Structure formats: C-alpha cells, structure tokens
Amino acid sequence: MENEKKLARMRELVSILREAGKAYYQENREIMGNYEYDRLYDELLTLEKETGITLSKSPTVQVGYELLGELPKETHESPMLSLDKTKEAGALAEWLGDKEGLLSWKLDGLTIVLTYRDGRLFKAVTRGNGEIGEVITNNAKVFANVPLSISYRGELVLRGEAVISYSDFYKINEELGEADAKYKNPRNLCSGSVRQLNNEVTAKRNVRFYGFSLVKAEGEDFENSREKQLLWLREEGFDVVEYKRVRQETVVDAVKEFAGKTEDNDLPSDGLVLTFDDIAYGRSLGRTAKFPRDSIAFKWADEIQATRLSYIEWSASRTGLINPVAVFEPVELEGTTVSRASVHNVSIVESLELGEGDEITVYKANMIIPQIAENLTKSGSVRIPDVCPVCGGPTEIRQENDVKALYCINPECQAKKIKGFSLFVSRDAMNIDGLSEATLEKFVDAGFVREFADLFHLEKHKEQILSMDGFGEKSYENLQASLERAKDTTMARFIYGLGIAGIGAAGARILSKAFDYDFEKFRHGSKEDFEQIEGIGPVIADSIFNYFQSERNNREVDRMFELVTFHDEMPSAATEVLGGKTFVITGKVERFANRKELKELIESLGGKVTGSVTARTDYLINNDAMSGSSKNKKAKELGIPIITEEEFLELTEQE
C-alpha cells in the first residue's frame, strides 16, 4: 500500500514537471520558479531511488528519438498462442468448474512482450505471427505508461496489450486530416503507431500498455496466484488490465457487469478473458496445437441478422475521399433499427464481393458499430465508379497503408464544396446558425454559394430563399443576424474554417498563437516555420504551405478579409490588466456560469490559470477561504492570498 502511494505521487510529479518543462523550454514561459522545480525534481528522484522504479517520460531520464531503416525480427522463446473462444457466458461457468478465476477485458490493440534485465527495460517485441515478432524496444520506451526501470533486478518477462483509447483515437484522427482513409479504428492506429520506424511519431500517439500475463520473474513467490502476480506488477509500476475475481456461481453476473461498462469504456475491447487463478493447475492442463488450456476468451454474442443489400452509396468528403456505404433492407440489431453500414474502402468492397441484391448478414461490432459480417451471395457485381457521384469528375484509386481508397480528383467538386462550407459554418469555426448541410446543398445547387464570401451576400437571393421549403421571413432574418455576428471572429476560428487538411480546432489555436495572431505572417510562413511549432509535423506543414500556394485559395481568403474582422487577441495595455499574474481556481463559483468562464476571463485580461498552487501562484480564487482543501492549505503555507470572486472582480477594476 505504501508503495502504491509513492507511485501515485511519482505519476503526479512526472505530470507537473513535464508541464513545467514544456512551458519553459517550448513556450518561453514559466509556471514555477527554479527553486520549486528543483524541489519537486529532487522529490521525484528520491522516490525513484526508494522504489527502484522510473516511470515513462520521467524528466530524470532522457529517451532519445531514433530513426530505423526497418524493424528487426525475433523468434519468441515460446509460441504466443491464440485463445479458444466462446460466446456463451454459461460456457465460462462450466469451463471454470470448482476453481476461481480472473475475468478481465480482452483489449483490442497489439500484443507486446516486455523483457527487463537488471531493473531496466531491455527488449520489447510484438506478437507478430505468434512465432516471430518485430523488435520495437525504442518505441516501447516512449509509451505513455511503460516503466523504464523497476525495483526487481532479475529477468522479468511479461505480456500485455498496447492500446490507444477511443478519445485519443478521435483526437489524433482529427489532426491527421485524411486519416479516415488510413485508420478506421483504434487498433489500426495503434498498430501503425507501435510499428513506426521513427519513435518520435510513436511518442505523440499516447500509446498505453496494460499487462495481462507474467511469464517470468525468477525468485519471486506469488503463492501460486495469478492475481498476486498482477498486484506485484502494479507495485513495480505497471498498469494491468482491469479484472474481477470470479467463481462458477458469479462469473455470469460478472460478464453482465462488464457488458454494462462497454459503452463507456474508453479502451477498445472486443470481449473478455477468463484465466484460472491457480497457476499450477492451469499449467498442468497443457495446451492444444492452437490454444493454451489455462485461459479462454469470451466474445460478445453479436446479434447477427440476414438482410438484402439494396445498393452501395458512394459518399464524397471535403478531402475528396469517397467512402462506400452499404444500404440494406432495415433490420433490428441490439434494440435499434439499422439500414446502413460503412464498408470503409475499396479493398473491403472487393474482398466481400458485394453486389446489389446480395443476401448479407450484418451485426454491430463490439455492440456499437454496424458492420457486414458475411456476403452469402458474392455476386461481385458492384463496380467502383470511375466518376464522382456528386460532380461527375474523374476518380482515382490510391493505395494507402496496403488499402485501396477512392478519391475524386476534380478540385471543383461540389461535394468538396458542400463539406467545406459545412466545416466553415460549424460551431468551432465561424459558428453560423441556420446553415445545415442540407441547406448549404440547396444554396450550392441554386448557384447562390460558390465560395466562402458568398455566404455573407445571401441578401441578393432573398426572394428565392424565402420560396424554398423550410424558409420563412423569421428564419431568414435569424440567418442574417447569425451571419452578421460571425463577421466578428478570431484568427483561430477562421483558420479552422478554411478546412486546411490536418488542421483541427486545437491546431488552429496553436498556429494563431505561434504567429502572434498575425494572419499575413501565418499565410506567408515557410515549411520550416510551421515544422518548428510544437504539434505541427512535416505532413501538416506541407499541407499548410501548399494551401497558400494556390492563387484560388488566396483570392478566396482576400475576399473574406473584406468582410470579417478578428478580435484584438494580441495583449494590449487595455486588455492585459492581469498580465504576469497567475491564478488557481478552486471550489464552487457563483458569479460565473462555471470555472471555465472565469478562466477565460482571466486569460482574456492577460493572466494565467494553472491547476496547482505553487510558489509562482499570485492568487487562489476560492469563495470559501476557511475551507480545509489541499489548495487552501498550500496557499496559506506559501503565503498566497486567497480571494473570493467579488475580490477578484474588484482586483480587475483596481488594476
């Protein structure tokens, strides 16, 4: 228990020190003084010596980036077998018999074998084909949570799953731009991230490792219990897969409990694994040619329904990618009516040999995403369109990551325009209410809108718009009011709205700040200028640079500049009344909708808001100055004023 407390504190210190280091070295600002940083650094160093553990990304060690020509191959000491499977919870109870077991998530990522020698990470190898894997040691060193050193000094070998969470997957895909042609799920992204030749890319992907099986730790006595092995691994600094101890009479209820967590589970999982806790008993069972007998996998019993494929709909995106979508006769799946399923790419269309009228079976993958399970007819009559279904322009098939994807290559494609306009008016961009994709399609079809600036001249077409279905005088006036409000915007919203491939809302904010909120400076930046910005790699740098090499794009931006104005985002004497001041906010707020609103006000006045009280904090905002919270105690200890919201507002007036 004491070791777990130390590990929790170590994780906290690594996070605080990394944030401080990034602020100082990459953002040219300080969130704590040298004395405070050194004190926390020394505390972390002491804890590392006491526990013998060094966590991933600890500032006390420096892991260099390395570029390889190829990943070396290595044969596993013992074959990594697959698990036998069942979809019946009752079968798990029968399999377990009178023994106790551990029921855990079957994480859907990439299986990795880690080896430690003399307390240090010595080797990391992928499962590969079960016999031969790829050596990815340098990549494993930059996983988000793999310990680089541990207290145990013998040879330690453990197996686990490298995964990327759903939330990180969506965020990374947004930054990758056309990632929908490359990565369709977290597992594919994780595989691509773990097997990079350049581990700097791996480091940015937030790959996490969860141990599920201890292979070797000579000299340690685990009292014949797998659970004690997992608990010991936790004490050594490893994250282990979430599990529940079960018996024959409790395993079915435990399966239901896990099933109830599926929708909210941020880690991708395709089922559960049941393992005997009794190590010796499990080993005594031996193995078959394919499966070990000490564990069994439980796959969610996908509800599969037969239906008939009506047609393949080819859906164009603003990047030019044309996605195939299967449209079939409606069926009930997992309590909802389903009539469509993404087929993802041309390769899958071909492998399924799809044809209109084919009898197919469909299910919800992991009980969430509609998929085609099988094509029973396999007529193969679907033809890949050689013209775009929207503009009639030519298409081409591109090979990306061993996958064929279809693209429209007409730069004037209407679908690209509609999707582009849809992004431009979205909430995180220009935030124009009343312009749904369907409405935009009507306006584009009618010739009202050919470029962004046309959106702000819809008054020319007032009579025609009022005659359209769904439009009356009131809705038209509301739209005009929304367009007028949108003219006063920010550089970040404007950049995001342009739809430059790879630039999400967060990236647009980073770019705005990096170029001092000067759009012309940003527009004329070089590839090298972009690459030097944290979070902007060479691919996105090329994307930005190439966007502004287009005369058409520049003309469109120039026309918009005649209509919009950016907020004065550069600090000024009038707006920077809290310049140089650092605040921490805690407790309930009363004068603001929430803490975020208060934080935004402080930042708009030139101040900073951090999450923890340090010697560099100027004020702690807390309406309950007598609270016994840790932040209050820390502020009193350091002599930092604790002020209420009222006092804060008075402070801004005095300043």
Strand order in the sheet with 156-163: 120-126, 110-117, 156-163, 208-217
Place of tokens 């201890």: 214
Active site residue 106: yes
* Cα–Cα distance, 547 to 505 (Å, whole number): 17
Name the pairing type of β-strands 110-117 and 156-163: antiparallel
Joined tokens for residue 571: 């600090």
- Of 106, 184, 416, 581, the catalytic one is 106
Task: Judge contact between 368 and 396, C-beta under 8 A.
Answer: no
CA nearest to 151, candidates 250, 237, 213: 237
DSSP helix/strand/coil, 336: strand
The runs of H, that is alpha helices, within 262-394 are 279-284, 346-352
Give me 203's structure tokens: 């480091």
CB neighbour list of residue 259: distance below 8 Å, 6 or more residues apart: 300, 367
Helix (H) / strand (E) containing 74? strand 73-75
Q: Which long-range contacts (CB under 8 A, 24 or more apart) does 278-284 make?
A: 278/99, 278/100, 278/224, 278/225, 278/226, 279/222, 279/224, 279/225, 279/226, 279/229, 280/224, 281/99, 282/226
Q: What are phi and psi of 353, to 5 degrees?
A: 50, 55
Q: How many other C-beta atoms lie within 10 A of the C-beta of residue 584?
A: 22
Partners of 398 in the beta sheet?
405
Distance CA 596, CA 387 (A): 48
**Beta-carbon count within 10 A of 562 CB:** 8
Nearest to 330 by CA among 308, 353, 304: 308
Query: Which residue numbers are catalytic?
Result: 106
